[in-house]
Amino acid sequence: MQTYLSLPDALARHTDAVERELRSIVPDDGSPLYTALRYHMGWCDQSGKAVNGTAGKRFRPVLCLMTCASVGGEPDSAMPAAVALELVHNFSLIHDDIQDRDTERHHMPTVWVVWGESQALSTGNAMYALASGSLLKLAEQVVSPDRIAQASASLTRSSLEMMEGQYLDLEFEKRTEVNTDDYLDMIARKTGALIACTMEMGVLIGAGDTATASVFALAGRHLGHLFQVRDDILGVWGEEAATGKPTGSDIRRKKKTYLVVQAMQKATGAAAITLKRIYAKQDPSDQDIRQVMDVMESTRARQEAEALAVRLADRALESIQPAELSARSMRDFEELVSFLLNRDH
C-alpha cells in the first residue's frame, strides 16, 4: 500500500486544482441563478463581478483525493468525485442557511439574504444537481462503470442520510429535551455520512477493494463525528478571527449542540433554571451568552465534549486498523486525526 498523502501536503498540492475544477462545473453565463451559486462559492460579488472572496476549506475534496492516493490511486482520477462532495456540502449550506435564518457566511450575506428564500432554495437545488453532474464525469477518467455505480450509490445514500440528519437537527430545535444518544445519531447522519462517503469514494476510485472501502467509510464516520464535535466546541469558544463567527454564536442561535445537550442533562438548581430561561428567550443577550458559557464550564459540559472528541479520535484510529496501512501512511492518518482534534477554525 502506498503512502497516505499527509493533509498539509494534500492541501498544498490539491487546493488550486480543486478550485479550478469547481469553477469549471458551475456555469458562468451571467444568469442570476448561476451568479448566486458563484457568489456562494466566494468567486464573485452579488452583481457577478469577480472577487477574491473567502472560500470554504475544501476539506472534503482534498480528503477524497488524499484517500485515493493512499490506496495507490491517481488522485486526479478522483477529482470529479471530490468536486461532487464539495458541491453536495455547499448545497446543504445554502439550504441550512435558509432553515437556520443565518444571515452571514464567511463575513458575507448568505444567499437567501441577497436573493430571497425562494430563489435560494432553487440555487441550493441547482448546486445538488451540479454535484450529480460532476460525479458522472468519472466516466472520463479510467474508472470502471462498476466503480462509478458504487460511488454514485455511496453519494446518494450519504446525501439522503445528511438530509435525515438535517431534519432531525431542526426537530431538536423545537424540543426542550434532547439526550446525548439522539444528538450523536443526528450528527452521525448530518456530518458523519458525507465524510464517510468522502473516504469510501476515495478508496473505490483509487481501485481499492470494497472491503477496504468499508473500513475507510467507518473511519470516515468517526472522523465526521469528531469534526462536528470540534465544530460544536468552536461554535462556543472559537475565536472570531479564526472561525469568522463571534464567540458564543451557537448559543445566540440556540443550536442544540453536544454542549447544550450535556449542560441541560447535568445542570441542577439555579444553573438548570438559568439554562431553561435563556433557551426559552427569543433573543439571548450578551450577558445570557456568558451565563450559558459559565454553566457549560461548571457542569463540565465543555470537558465532556473535549473528552468525547478524544474518544472519537481513538475510535477513528482503531477502525482504520483492518486497512493495514503502511507505517508512513498510518503516521499521515494520525496527523489528519490530530488536525481534526485540534483545529481552531
Rounded to the nearest whole angstrom, what is the least distance from the CB of residue 137 to a second copy in the complex?
10
Q: How far apart are CA 79 and CA 253, in angstroms?
A: 36
Rule CB under 8 A: say whether 249 interacts with a second copy.
no
Per CB under 8 A, the list member of 2, 3, 132, 243 interacting with a second copy is 132
Rounded to the nearest whole angstrom, what is the least distance from the CB of residue 50 to a second copy in the complex?
22
Q: Mark the segment that binds a second copy (CB under 8 A) among 9-17, 149-157, 247-255, 332-340.
A: 149-157
Per CB under 8 A, the list member of 12, 50, 139, 273 interacting with a second copy is 139
The Cβ-side half-sphere exposure at 200, using a 13 Å CA radius, reads 29
Say how many residues touch a second copy, by CB under 8 A: 37
Sign of the Cα pseudo-torsion (172, 176, 180, 181, in order): negative
Per CB under 8 A, the list member of 170, 211, 280, 307 interacting with a second copy is 170
Rule CB under 8 A: say whether 15 interacts with a second copy.
no
- 289 in Cβ contact with 252 (< 8 Å): yes
Rule CB under 8 A: say whether 242 interacts with a second copy.
no
Rounded to the nearest whole angstrom, what is the least distance from the CB of residue 236 to a second copy in the complex?
23
Residue count of the chain, please give it.
Answer: 345
The Cβ-side half-sphere exposure at 262, using a 13 Å CA radius, reads 23
174: which residues sit within 8 A by CB, 6+ positions away?
A: none
If one counts every other C-beta atom within 10 angstroms of the C-beta of residue 283, the result is 7
Q: How far apart are CA 72 and CA 207, in angstroms?
A: 8
- Class of residue 342 by CB neighbours under 10 A (exposed 0-12, middle 13-18, buried 19+): exposed
Rule CB under 8 A: say whether 32 interacts with a second copy.
yes
Rounded to the nearest whole angstrom, what is the least distance from the CB of residue 15 to a second copy in the complex?
26
Residues at the site binding a second copy, with contacts judged by CB under 8 A? 31-33, 95, 98-99, 117-119, 121-123, 125-126, 128-130, 132-133, 136, 139, 145-146, 148-149, 152-153, 156-157, 159-160, 163-164, 166-167, 170-171
